[in-house]
Amino acid sequence: MDSLVSTEWLAGELGASDLRVIDATIFLPGSGRDARVEYETEHIPGAVFMDLDEIVDSASPLPHMLPPEAKFASRMQTLGLGDGSRFVVYDNSPLHSAARAWWMLRTFGAHYVAVLDGGLQKWKAEGRPLESGSRQIRHAHFSPMLDQSVVADLDYVSGIVHSDAHEIVDARPAPRFTGEEAEPRLGVMGGHIPGSRSLPQTELFSPDNSWKRGDALRSAFEQAGVDLSRPMVATCGSGVTAAVLLFGAHLLGKEDVKLYDGSWAEWGSDPSTPKATGAA
């Protein structure tokens, strides 16, 4: 199974005994939208709802930090997401949050994980079937194996600020990167990590919400000033859209990318970290 699958492919695979479809929609605080309510209203047949706001490290004051292995395994088992299954993740969010679920599943050891190209938006535009409500789920066994090598923390990022050997790439909208627009979370300053590049995650998508591919995708990184030959750290507001940049790099065959899990929610609220404003 490819990392990116089409709506046509998924429509042909629905009902396969080893296939699990996952709705990983999430929204920014204050958006006025409720991902779980929207899932229960309509979703791809057979999909389960992966609550990215709840599958977190509840001991951390930061949003969306990776949970402990035991908690992740417990949540996956409750959702019927077990070892050996093929997972297809989609969303219906401007944050393209399926990429975060894809990254989390892979980071905890899942082998067969794909993102649905175009998400629910494209699925609906094509008139494909939907269902509503919640569903009975048969528990499955998930064996977590957390790969810490793909996760960057505050100390790691602090050590590569202004490094010519690395790239730090920020997925937030440009006005938040420059500090012109306030952050959606209280207590978080505006601006960006010094030396980082601004690549809003929306730049990786075509007008129909499908992923850019090949030269068009590569050009999005290059136009942002990102040197793809260097190891990269992806960051954003809370580690969700950073996964979009990481998945985009993956589509280009680039795997030397870490995700800064604390992202700007951590960096921007820490008085000891250096901060920059304006364009990069």
Largest alpha-carbon pair distance within the chain? Answer: 53
Is 150 catalytic? The answer is no
* Banded model confidence at residue 69, pLDDT cuts 50, 70, 90: very high
The per-residue pLDDT for 29 is 82
pLDDT at 1: 85
Is 276 a domain residue? no
Provide the pLDDT confidence category of residue 82 given band limits of 50, 70 and 90.
very high
pLDDT, residue 135, reads 78
Does residue 66 sit in the same domain as residue 129? Answer: yes
Dihedrals phi, psi of 22, to nearest 5 degrees: -130, 125
Give the number of other Cβ atoms within 10 Å of residue 8's Cβ.
11
Chain center to CA of 36: 17
- Strand-pair partners of 116: 5
**What is the pLDDT confidence band of residue 134, given thresholds at 50, 70 and 90?**
confident
Q: Are residues 78 and 162 in the same domain?
A: no
Question: How does strand 19-23 pair with strand 48-49?
Answer: parallel
Residue 195 falls in which region: left (phi positive, over 0), alpha (psi -120 to 50) or beta: left
Cα–Cα distance, 120 to 209 (Å, whole number): 9
SS3 assignment, position 40: helix
Question: Is residue 218 one of the residues assigned to a domain?
Answer: yes
User: Is residue 275 a part of any domain in this protein?
Assistant: no
What percentage of the chain carries pLDDT values higher than 70?
Answer: 100
197 and 117 in a common domain: no
Q: Give the mean pLDDT of 77-93.
A: 97
238 within a domain of the structure (yes/no): yes
Averaged pLDDT for residues 46-63: 97
Tell me the pLDDT tens digit for each residue of 187-243: 999 999 999 999 999 999 999 999 999 999 999 999 999 999 999 999 999 999 999
Q: Please give the model's pTM, rounded to 2 decimal places.
A: 0.97
Closest CA to 26 of 244, 257, 269: 244
> What pLDDT is stored for residue 254 in this prediction?
98
Does the residue 272 lie in any domain?
no
Among the candidates 114, 146, 178, a domain finishes at 146
Average pLDDT, the chain: 96
Domain count, the chain: 2
Give the pLDDT mean for 144-158.
Answer: 97
Classify 224 in phi/psi space as left (phi over 0), alpha (psi -120 to 50) or beta. Answer: alpha
Q: Give the CATH number of the domain where residue 15 resides.
A: 3.40.250.10
**Structural domain boundaries enclosing 255:** 149-267
- Percent of the residues in the chain that have a pLDDT greater than 90, as a whole number: 94
Name the active-site residue from 10, 55, 88, 236.
236
